[in-house]
Amino acid sequence: MRSRYSAFACGDAAYLFRTWHPRTRPADVTVDPGITWTGLEVIDTVAGGPDDDRGEVEFNAQFESGGRADRLHERSRFQRRAGRWFYLDAVSDRAAEDV
């Protein structure tokens, strides 16, 4: 998850594409050059250890866009395939509350 944040911060769309699960990724992955990512705070993790095939990471990512500071709050789901972790999707706030 941290590597994907770094890819967003560095504008590495190819890495984001490669680490996005093939079942859920869009045909084209782009990054917005007008966004400057300024910080990452991991709030919670569920599973995702050496013996797991799935995991979740809840985080806040701070950014600036158009001279304004903001943050993205998300709980991301990941799945391991062939020994590598892939971003699957984001859990909606409602689904996260139901867990």
pLDDT in tens, 3-44: 999 999 999 999 999 999 999 999 999 999 999 999 999 999
Q: Residue 80 domain-assigned?
A: yes
Q: Residue 70 domain-assigned?
A: yes
Q: Residue 96 domain-assigned?
A: no
Using one digit for the tens of pLDDT, what is the confidence trace for 37-62?
Answer: 999 999 999 999 999 999 999 999 99
Q: Residue 95 domain-assigned?
A: no
Q: Residue 25 domain-assigned?
A: yes
Q: Residue 98 domain-assigned?
A: no
Q: What is the CATH classification number for the domain harbouring 70?
A: 3.10.450.50
Strands 54-65 and 35-47: antiparallel
Residue 93, pLDDT above cutoff 90: no
Q: Residue 99 domain-assigned?
A: no
Structural domain total, the chain: 1
Using one digit for the tens of pLDDT, what is the confidence trace for 58-79?
Answer: 999 999 999 999 999 999 999 9
d(Cα 67, Cα 49) in Å, to the nearest integer? 38
Residues sharing a CB contact under 8 Å with residue 84, sequence separation 6 or more, in sequence order: 19
Q: Which domain holds residue 34?
A: 1-90
Q: How large a percentage of the chain has pLDDT more than 90?
A: 91
Mean per-residue pLDDT over the chain, rounded = 94
